Amino acid sequence: MVGGQPLNGEVKISGAKNSALAILAAAILLPGKTVIRNTPNLLDVKTMLRVLRALGLRAEYSASQPNTVEIWNEDVRHVAPYELVTKMRASFFIIGPILARKGLAKVPLPGGCAIGSRPVNLHLKGLEALGARVEMEHGFVIVSARKLIGTKVYIDFPSVGATETVMMAATLAEGETIIENAAREPEVSDLAGFLNRAGAKITGAGTEEVHIQGVRSLNPVEYRIIPDRIEAGTFMVVAAATGGNLLLKNIIPDHLEATIVKLKEAGLLIDIGSDWLTISVRNGIKATDVKTLPYPGFPTDMQQQFCALLALAQGTSVVTETVFENRFIFVNELKRMGADIKLEGQSAIITGVPFLSSAPVKVSDLRAGAALIIAGLAAKGETQIEDRDHHVERGYENLQKKLMALGAEIKIV
Ligand code: EPZ
């Protein structure tokens, strides 16, 4: 890409990747035909559809309606395919629904990734609390339970995935389950909305205490996924880093609170509507400190994009990552482009430089890819970004098209 010019215009935000992946797993619980709208067209969603098909469901993007997934679900196999699940760790979300539906589930242990080892112990502890037996065999996790019994489940860390796994399994358990210290992310609430539409009885989603009253069965639904707050935040940082002026449409501003606060601290002018916002640079980017926290704190999925922005700020910023143990791995690539960043423990000390210089860089994970694209759009000259594993395509729908519509000179070779 050739950077150095401001990006201006409007961008429509797609449906939330992290809602879609959890909701597709939850569709295993619903017999019959389920329709999910505003589903982003992403490699990760396509992988999840392949996982569902491997379990015996019919699951595909609708040929006639854009961003719509249709799932026909009669019976479900209880063994998930090794190569697919290990390819995308979010497919581990299928374990709770298969267990609740079949009383038995055999799912490969997901691998770690660039940002951390990403264990699933909290998922399994939650299922055990509901009465499941958990065994490990040849890289597969095997969970079994004649019946799941509702109970109080305390999750040591407000893990999004663990909260979702317990919530999904508890929908068909006997009696009431109370999840304490639950994750409060909007995607958790979106999953609860989907399940309640299907007849589940979930209250308190979005707070740290979620109550699920077990029911005997669920019914198929039509549901629309919420907008992707991380894609929205990423485009806000694109505007900030290139000195542009953007209008974002199809957003839920409440979900962007922490990101908006931090961008205002960095000197951005932000005007907020009911489902839109405009953002522009007033005079330069000011240094500010950021600490990632579970929602509603500053999202870890925005940390890397923010580091790319703060690399160009006037002054020194401290960015502290408290959610993943290795989410600064991409800093080395930013430094190739002239960023002045020192890592100290869980923090990155970023001293702003007047400009970044283009350089060949490599993508280690999805949001690192977003950060490097932002840096490349801000840097003068041509930047080559190597992304052999298609990390960016896995998580951003039509990113190149959307950026080109804003005036970016970017091509995929
Ligand atoms: C979800 O991952 C998101 N992915 C991640 O988005 C996001 O970064 C993360 O939540 C935090 O918001 C999906 O929803 C598909 P966690 P998840 O369980 O559920 C530790 C992106 O870029 N942990 O909240 O895997 C874990 O190691 C991706 O879109 C355990 O120790 O995240 C991490 O340090 C990246 N044991 C912390 O909790 C467990 O059993 C938060 O993980 C589970 C998690």
pLDDT at 85 over 90: no
pLDDT at 112 over 90: no
Per-residue pLDDT band at 143 (split at 50, 70, 90): very high
Out of 21, 95, 124, 159, give the residue to mutate to test ligand 1, the one with the largest number of ligand atoms within 8 Å of its CB: 159
Q: What are the backbone angles phi and psi of residue 231, rounded to the nearest 5°? A: -65, -40
Model pLDDT for residues 206-235, shown as the tens digit of each residue: 999 999 999 999 999 999 999 999 999 999
Distance CA 316, CA 309 (A): 12
pLDDT at 93: 96
Residue type present at position 1: M
For residue 292, with 0-12 CB atoms within 10 Å meaning exposed, 13-18 middle and 19 or more buried, which class applies? buried
Of ligand 1's atoms, which has the minimum distance to the CA of residue 395?
A: 29
pLDDT at 111 over 80: no
Distance CA 140, CA 106 (A): 6
Q: What is the mean pLDDT of the chain?
A: 96
pLDDT at 396: 97
Query: Can you spell out the DSSP letters for 346-393?
Result: TEEEEE--S--B---EE--SHHHHHHHHHHHHHSBEE--EE-TT-HHH
> 22 C-alpha to center of ligand 1: Å?
12
Residue type present at position 280: S
Nearest CA-CA partner of 221 in 151, 178, 171: 171
Per-residue pLDDT band at 86 (split at 50, 70, 90): confident
> 300 C-alpha to center of ligand 1: Å?
9
In percent, the amount of the chain with pLDDT more than 90 equals: 93
Average pLDDT over residues 378-405: 95
Distance CA 35, CA 194 (A): 11
Q: Model pTM? A: 0.97
Per-residue pLDDT band at 198 (split at 50, 70, 90): very high
- 90: Cβ below 6 Å to ligand 1? yes
